[in-house]
Homo-oligomer: A and B are copies of this chain.
Amino acid sequence: MNAIDELTEQFKKFPGIGNRQAKRFVYFLLTQNGNTLSKLSKLVSELKKETSQCSSCFRFFESKNESTSCDICSDPNIDKTKLMIVEKDVDFENIKKMGVYPGKFFILGGTIPILEREPTKKIRAKQLVDIIEKNKNELEEIILALSINPEGENTLQYVKKILELLAEKYDIKITTLGRGLSTGTELEYSDSDTFQNALKNRG
């Protein structure tokens, strides 16, 4: 396999990229000058050196000094009574930039497919329990913020179950994001689940 094909294979592993677009990426790179390629190459090879995974929320962040905590987890003004559990880094980013939630985060690192035999391998279950144990004195609420689709629901039920006893023991409330009509919902087409939740949560 030649260099063009090998690099195409690598790009095909990128999320959402098929053979055709992978090849377009390679031809695009071929038209770039040497400096651009060197820079990209360097950024890729040093990505992990420049980046740490926060020992507290498990998101990736730029590691400037020796800190093992990201800027949010080490922010003294953060509301330590709340911990929001999200699936992945981009979920965290989307929520963070809204600026409406002042508490801590935890990145699960995945979701659990329906009928998965080894659910603990799909998410950071053990790490989540450790974090809760460590913060048990301050924590008052755990907010499960997962997408509303079958895998998200399955993950939510699973996480709820593994946290139940722990939450009771330390008197921590477990909540889930409210459900109802969201931007764009038209009542002519709304599904029964959504409407029922909206009716229940009316006010």
Contacts and interface: CB of A to CB of B under 8 A. Distances in A.
Interface of A: 2-4, 6-7, 10, 13-16, 20-21, 23-30, 34, 37-48, 50-51, 53, 60-62, 86-91, 93-95, 98, 100-101, 143, 145-149, 175-203
Given A25-B14, A197-B180, A199-B100, A90 B44 contact: no
B176 A177 contact: no
A42 B10 CA distance: 11
A201 to B, nearest CB: 3
7 A-B pairs closest in CB distance: A178-B201, A3-B50, A178-B180, A2-B62, A41-B45, A177-B198, A182-B194
A190 B43 CA distance: 30
Given A187-B94, A188-B88, A179 B180 contact: yes
Contacts of A61: 2, 4
Contacts of A145: 187, 198
Max count, chain B CB within 10 A of own CB: residue among A61, A62, A195: A195
Given A90-B188, A178-B197, 6 more contacts: A3-B47, A4-B60, A15-B21, A29-B44, A143-B202, A183-B193
Contacts of A184: 148-149
B186 A147 contact: yes
Contacts of A40: 7, 10, 44
Contact of A183 (B21, B187, B194): B194
Contacts of A27: 60, 88-90
Contact of A199 (B89, B177, B200): B177
A191 B200 contact: no
A79 to B, nearest CB: 13
Contacts of A91: 187-188
A69 to B, nearest CB: 16
A93 B23 contact: yes
Given A46-B3, A47-B3, A47-B26, A181 B188 contact: no
